[in-house]
Amino acid sequence: MDDEERRRELGDNDAPVEEELETTFDRIVDEGAQRLHRTWASVVVTGLFGGIEVGLGVMAYLAVQHETGSHLLAGLAFSIGFIALLLAKSELFTEGFLVPIAAVVAKEARVGQLMKLWGGTLAANLVGGWLFMWLVVLAFPEWRATVLESAAHYALAPLSLQTAALAILGGSTITLMTRMQHGTDSVPAKIVAAVAGGFLLAGLPLFHSVLDSLLIFGAIHAGASFGYLEWLNWFWFTVLLNVAGGLLLVTALRLVRTKELIKERRSDAAEGPGSAP
């Protein structure tokens, strides 16, 4: 008896991978297909909520940073934003590097639908976050110096090996957080993953295209010496490297690990009524 036959004998399923991986894979693909078949209105509204709710995390980050001066404690406070995203079922652009792509690879949706989800969610995240940060700056003028200092770290950062690495790690970290949350049915465990992701992203701090854009928007609202051109010069490479980090360091490896399940889902999609139009 070879290793694979022995694994099947010991497990409770007949799939070519462990039962836990099969369950998680099915959950990811099914959810990804649902998200990719949303209407434009649903994509935009969910993305707006995502920008506003991650703004809650930025507000908590600024409050703790202002009072303590500690990036690590502020990073823990920022996890409030990820918890809100999780429990309110809204959408952040950088959460779309695993779940929707798995659905596309499994032939449960089309690449065009992925582009709609990514583009609509990213634009809506930025609009919602811009509006929320305008309110934050109006509500807490005493945070002005903290906002300006925090945002300058990103807005004035040139493309270099260091900033590229920070952006790649940012994309891989939030994608791994997504994978961890889909690997369990336990809400407390999902919240732990959200806290861990928030701590790493905001506490270290890594480069995150949406989170850090909100800090920059807040600084612009507060009268920063830099503006939207500097934001764009930072944003273009950060968003691309976030995608690269999420896809190459997490998603691609996870898909290789479940390649047999992908083949089965592709076959089912091609033969059954659930095939993508």
- The DSSP string of the chain is --HHHHHHHHSS--SSS-HHHHHHHHHHHHHHHHHHT--HHHHHHHHHHHHHHHHHHHHHHHHHHHHH--HHHHHHHHHHHHHHHHHHT---GGGGTTHHHHHHHTTSS-HHHHHHHHHHHHHHHHHHHHHHHHHHHHH-GGGHHHHHHHHHHHHTPPP-HHHHHHHHHHHHHHHHHHHHHHT-S-HHHHHHHHHHHHHHHHHTTPP-TTHHHHHHHHHHHTT-S--HHHHHHHHHHHHHHHHHHHIIIIIHHHHHHTHHHHHHHHHHHHHSTTS--
Segment 166-171 shows an average pLDDT of 98
Q: Which two tokens stand for residue 85?
A: 């995203």
* pLDDT given for residue 271 in this prediction: 72
* pLDDT given for residue 6 in this prediction: 45
* pLDDT given for residue 43 in this prediction: 96
Is the pLDDT at 8 greater than 60? The verdict is no
Residue ranges of domains in the chain, CATH in brackets? 8-271 (1.20.1080.10)
CA distances from 194 to 12, 42, 136, 152, 255 (A): 30, 24, 23, 26, 22
**Range of weakest confidence among 63-67, 144-148, 255-259:** 255-259
Burial class (CB in 10 A: 0-12, 13-18, 19+), 162: exposed
Each residue of 217-252: pLDDT tens digit?
A: 999 999 999 999 999 999 999 999 999 999 999 999
Each residue of 27-80: pLDDT tens digit?
A: 999 999 999 999 999 999 999 999 999 999 999 999 999 999 999 999 999 999
pTM for this model (two decimals)? 0.90
Give Cβ neighbours of residue 223 (< 8 Å, ≥ 6 apart): 144
Rounded distance between C-alpha atoms, residue 95 and residue 81, angstroms: 13
Each residue of 197-218: pLDDT tens digit?
A: 999 999 999 999 999 999 999 9
Q: Which amino acid is at 208?
A: H
Q: Are 135 and 57 in contact (CB under 8 A)?
A: no
